[in-house]
Structure 1
């Protein structure tokens, strides 16, 4: 029967592995230290970013105020110019209105229509002063 069965090596007793005890407390303490270091680094970076953002805002706020003041001044000037342009447009349309040509000629040339009577307004107080001065 030995010929049919393959040969096996003799059974050796199973040796127990030597387990090296790892200090779990040391690993836990080290991971806590790494987490604390990482959190400290994150806080430091965020503080730096906050300081830079605050500095940028401190420089931009006065610039923004000056730009707003300039914008208000420009808006005021634009409103004044709109009023001026509107009056010029009215005058322009009046100057080129064919029905207004006679009145425009009278205003600019001191010529009057022959059919129109001239009215001269006089100050009555002035007339009395002139009469009293001429009577002596």
Structure 2
């Protein structure tokens, strides 16, 4: 019987290689470290961007204030010019009004119609003040 059966090597129990897996706790700890590092990097970048923005604002504020001051000056000049333009427009319309023609000629040429007399106003206070000074 031995001859008919092929010879087999003796059966040895198959040993499973046990790979010691990393404990999950170690993996979690490593992922927390990576997340902390990533968050720190984000905060650093945000702080750098914020610092650059604040620096730019600090440099731009004096320029903004100067522009506001110039704008105020221009607005006051515009108001003054509007007043002058209104006066000139009324004067222009008065000068070209045919009904005002005689009055304007009298004002500019000092000519009066024959039935009118010129009236000259004198300040009598000056005469009274001048007399006491001249007599000691």
TM-score range, shorter chain: 0.7 to 0.9
Report whether the alignment pairs 1:23 with 2:32. no
1:49-128 matched pairs, under 5 angstroms: 49-124=49-124, 126=127
Kindly provide the CA deviation profile for residues 31-81 of structure 1, in whole angstroms up to 9, marking residues without a partner as x: 122111101110110000110110011011111111110111001000000
1:32-47 matched pairs, under 5 angstroms: 32-47=32-47
Q: 1:111 Cα deviation (Å)?
A: 1.0
TM-score normalized with structure 1 length: 0.75
- How far apart, in 1, do the equivalents of 2:29 and 2:48 lie? 29
TM-score normalized with structure 2 length: 0.75
2:113 partner SS = coil
Q: 1:21 Cα deviation (Å)?
A: 2.0
Runs of 4+ in 1 over 6 A off after TM superposition: none
1:118 partner SS = coil
- How far apart, in 1, do the equivalents of 2:80 and 2:106 lie? 30
Q: Give the CA RMSD over aligned residues.
A: 2.4
Give aligned pairs, total.
Answer: 116
Structure 1: 5+ residue stretches without partners: 1-14
Deviates more, 1:21-30 or 1:57-66: 21-30
Q: 1:117 Cα deviation (Å)?
A: 1.8
